[in-house]
Structure formats: structure tokens, C-alpha cells
């Protein structure tokens, strides 16, 4: 079996499916049936999904759930979440309910600056290059006006442009470092179009600059691209209450609980092995809402984890303290999000998710997403410092095990009754199913 093919992209959808089925599956008929099982019956809607990416053969489903009762800045939200991991939505909803009776979440957008760079090589005098840049900066910005005019009408555009000398790190390497305001769009296409125009104009201006030698005029553009590291596109979220108000069914000693939670976060602040898992829990909440609202969770992940390393070592994104009897739990994270453009106007469920959230602006969505992350983190820390993480997680995970073994309704009833008072693990559930079927 070769498994290589030339011209795959030129095949029809049916031909692609037939080739995959024939090459990789013993039962090609069954494989084709499984692939087509996930097609949408509405041909127009299916075509819409087909055209999101290249070489599509089917749809890949993820569950979309709702975590209600999020009180954010005095307003209630029901938050759509798209994720495959059990217990995430339940944990977020539980945290939302917990804090809704304790003042809710406070969220503030600190800044919305985004960044892009033109990376280029210049073999010459850096002082002359700076003088050149100062003389043509206005021309560079003017050359982007056809791209920026609509964004400027909405209050956005290029907010700064500077030359950066990076030759101490890489020979002949310089940057045009630009900052942007993109309002309610994430702005990737806008930023990249501006950068490519800046690069083109920079090269043209250099060719006509009398202050350069022939060699200096030959600026080499390496690449022009936005950065997903947005340390000045920041949202802060927090919750706080009196320590005694933390009391609930599973928190009988709120003072001890608060102290353990603060200690758990301090461990994540200094121990990277813990911090990675700690922050992964935050991103369970963040990514689920980012996906549901049609934003780029890979860009968000990359930017957030870079931010977690900004002090030279990887550390916790969230923090907590107890002062004067008040427990405070907070987080600041970078989030470059959009509520217009991209999938937000194309994917029917993305449009529904934004409707459920009240058609938020990009800054409002930043707040909601960050709150979901902090709520998820609180839920994880509450479990870790009280009952342990596995109790709630395995109660939710048992559904996956029961589905995997195709249990009947009667079997499910017996199994659930048994594990009401017994420790749940994958092995123990499987063993019980096997014994039950004997």
C-alpha cells in the first residue's frame, strides 16, 4: 500500500472520500458511510462548512454546552462553551453560581493594543537607517491609507510605528514594529495587509534615498506578519468576598480553605510543572468560549502562555490573597478577540453563541472569556484543596465509559447505583461491566 497521491486537492469531494476509504480501511463501504453520516442534510449549509478549509471530506463534531448564571459587572450571562472534556462546563457553571451570590465577577479591559512587525535585513550604518526612517515615516503611514481608512472611521488603525535595531541578537536584523487598534475585529487580515504595504513602501523608499550607498539601498524584506503575543491587549478579572462568606457545603472551614487555595496558587507561581497544569485548567474555560464564538484558540493559547513566561520563567496566570479578612482571586491575561469578521458572520452556531451573549463588543467578549477561565480555575482549585480533582471528573467521565461499552439502559441504572458509593476509575467501571455481563 503506497498511501501517496498526486493532485489530491483537484479531486472531487466524493473522489477524495473514496480514495481515503480504499487506502486506509479494510471495509471501505463502512468507512464511506461513517464519513457521510456527519454531513449536514442541508446542502447549502454543508457547502458553507466545506469551504471553511481545504480538502474537506466531512464535519467533525464537538459538543456545545451552556454555563449559566455568570454575573459579570452586574449583568447575567449564559456562556456558550465548545469542548470535548467532561466536567468543564459543569465546573464553570458551578463556579458561576457560587460567585453570583457573592458579588459576581468584576472585569476590566486594560488595553486593546495589537502588534505586527516587518522583519528585514539592512547591511549598513544603523544611524543612517534611523535617519532614513525618521524622514520617511510619514510616507510609510500614508501608503497604508487605502487599507486603514475604513478602520479609522471606526476609531481604529495604526497607532504607532517605530524602527527597532535587533543587530545585537542577529546580524543585520531590524524591525518595523507597529501597533494597531482593530476595534471589534480580531484584525489579523487588516494588520497583515498594512504590514505588507509598509514593507513594500520601505523597500521603495530605500531605493530612492540619496543618503544610502548602493548596498544600503538593497533592504531585504524577510517577512511581514502580525504577532500573537499581545502583552498590551489585557483584561483583568477578579472575585472577592469576606473569608467567612466562602462557606458552603464542601467548605466547612472557610479560613482553612482560603489559606490552602492561596498556597496552591503560590505553588503554581513558583513551580513550572504545576503552573502548566494550573494554566491548562484556565484555558479549558478560555478555549471553550473562544471556540464557541468563532475565534482562534491557537493564537490565544500561544499568546497566553508567552505572557505566563514574561518574567523569565513559566508561572501561574491567576493569583490570590487574603487581606483584612477579604479573600481576593484574580487574573490578568492577554486576549486578542473579535466579534465581527471571520467565522463570526459565517458559522450559524457562532452567530447563535454571540446572540446568547447579547452581541458583545470585542472588549466585552474579552471580559466574558477571561471570566470563564477564572471560574474554571476556581472550580479546579476548590476540588483540589477539598475532595480532590477525580471525584467530580470521574462522575462525568463515566458517561464516556458507558458509551464506549454500549451499555443498555438497565445496565446504566445498575452501574450508576453501584458507583454512588464506590470509587470511580476507568478500570473499576470496566471490571464492573464485565462482571455484570457474566
Q: Where are the alpha helices (DSSP H) in 143-210?
A: 145-153, 188-207
Catalytic residue among 260, 280, 305, 321: 280
Q: Are 333 and 235 in contact (CB under 8 A)?
A: yes
Nearest to 279 by CA among 306, 335, 229, 317: 317
Catalytic residue among 85, 218, 245, 332: 85
Catalytic residue among 49, 296, 364, 397: 296
- Catalytic residue status for 165: no
Cα 371 to Cα 236: distance, rounded to the nearest angstrom: 9
**Residue linked to cell 476509575:** 425
- Catalytic residue status for 280: yes
Cα 417 to Cα 117: distance, rounded to the nearest angstrom: 60
Catalytic residue among 49, 114, 119, 393: 393
**Residue linked to cell 486594560:** 110
Cα 236 to Cα 331: distance, rounded to the nearest angstrom: 6
- Catalytic residue status for 393: yes
Cα 132 to Cα 113: distance, rounded to the nearest angstrom: 26
Cα 84 to Cα 166: distance, rounded to the nearest angstrom: 43
> In the chain, count of helices (H) and strands (E)?
16, 10
297 contact partners, CB below 8 Å, separation of at least 6? 286, 287, 290, 291
Cα 193 to Cα 145: distance, rounded to the nearest angstrom: 11
257 contact partners, CB below 8 Å, separation of at least 6? 246, 251, 382, 385, 386
Complete DSSP assignment for 293-359: TT--HHHHHHHHHHHTTTTSS---SEEEEEETTEEEEEEEEE----SBSGGGGT-HHHHHHHHHTTS
**Residue linked to cell 457560587:** 98
Catalytic residues: 85, 280, 296, 393
Amino acid at each position: 500500500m503506497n498511501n501517496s497521491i498526486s493532485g489530491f486537492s483537484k479531486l472531487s469531494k466524493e473522489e477524495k472520500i473514496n480514495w481515503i476509504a480504499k487506502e486506509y480501511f479494510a471495509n471501505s463501504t463502512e468507512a464511506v458511510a461513517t464519513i457521510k453520516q456527519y454531513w449536514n442534510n442541508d446542502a447549502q449549509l454543508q457547502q458553507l462548512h466545506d469551504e471553511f478549509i481545504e480538502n474537506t471530506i466531512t464535519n467533525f463534531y464537538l459538543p456545545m454546552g451552556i454555563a449559566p448564571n455568570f454575573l459579570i459587572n452586574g449583568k447575567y450571562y449564559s456562556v456558550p462553551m465548545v469542548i470535548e472534556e467532561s466536567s468543564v462546563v459543569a465546573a464553570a457553571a458551578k463556579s458561576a453560581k457560587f460567585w453570583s451570590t457573592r458579588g459576581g465577577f468584576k472585569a476590566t479591559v486594560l488595553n486593546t493594543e495589537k502588534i505586527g512587525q516587518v522583519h528585514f535585513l539592512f547591511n549598513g550604518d544603523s544611524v543612517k537607517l534611523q535617519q532614513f526612517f525618521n524622514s520617511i515615516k510619514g510616507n510609510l503611514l500614508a501608503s497604508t491609507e487605502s487599507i486603514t481608512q475604513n478602520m479609522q472611521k471606526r476609531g481604529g488603525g495604526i497607532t504607532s510605528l517605530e524602527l527597532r535595531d535587533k543587530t545585537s541578537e542577529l546580524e543585520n536584523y531590524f524591525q518595523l514594529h507597529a501597533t494597531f487598534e482593530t476595534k471589534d475585529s480580531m484584525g489579523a487580515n487588516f494588520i497583515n495587509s498594512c504590514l505588507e504595504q509598509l514593507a513594500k513602501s520601505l523597500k521603495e523608499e530605500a531605493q530612492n534615498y540619496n543618503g544610502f550607498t548602493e548596498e544600503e539601498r538593497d533592504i531585504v524584506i524577510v517577512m511581514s506578519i502580525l504577532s500573537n503575543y499581545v502583552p498590551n491587549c489585557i483584561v483583568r478579572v477578579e472575585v472577592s468576598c469576606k473569608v467567612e462568606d466562602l462557606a458552603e457545603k464542601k467548605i466547612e472551614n472557610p479560613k482553612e480553605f482560603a489559606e490552602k487555595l492561596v498556597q496552591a496558587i503560590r505553588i503554581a507561581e513558583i513551580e513550572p510543572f504545576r503552573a502548566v497544569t494550573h494554566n491548562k485548567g484556565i484555558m479549558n474555560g478560555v478555549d471553550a468560549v473562544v471556540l464557541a464564538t468563532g475565534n482562534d484558540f491557537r493564537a490565544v493559547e500561544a499568546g497566553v502562555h508567552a505572557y505566563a513566561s514574561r518574567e523569565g520563567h513559566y508561572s501561574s496566570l491567576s493569583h490570590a490573597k487574603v487581606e483584612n479578612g477579604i479573600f481576593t482571586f484574580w487574573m490578568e491575561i492577554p486576549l486578542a478577540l473579535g466579534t465581527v469578521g471571520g467565522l463570526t458572520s459565517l458559522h450559524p452556531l457562532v452567530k447563535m453563541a454571540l446572540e446568547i451573549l447579547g452581541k458583545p463588543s470585542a472588549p466585552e467578549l474579552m471580559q466574558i472569556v477571561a471570566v470563564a477561565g477564572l471560574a474554571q480555575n476556581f472550580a479546579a482549585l476548590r476540588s483540589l484543596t477539598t475532595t480532590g480533582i477525580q471525584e467530580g471528573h470521574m462522575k462525568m467521565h463515566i458517561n464516556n465509559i458507558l458509551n464506549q461499552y454500549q451499555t443498555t439502559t438497565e445496565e446504566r441504572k445498575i452501574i450508576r447505583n453501584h458507583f454512588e458509593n464506590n470509587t470511580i476509575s476507568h478500570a473499576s467501571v470496566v471490571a464492573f461491566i464485565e462482571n455484570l455481563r457474566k
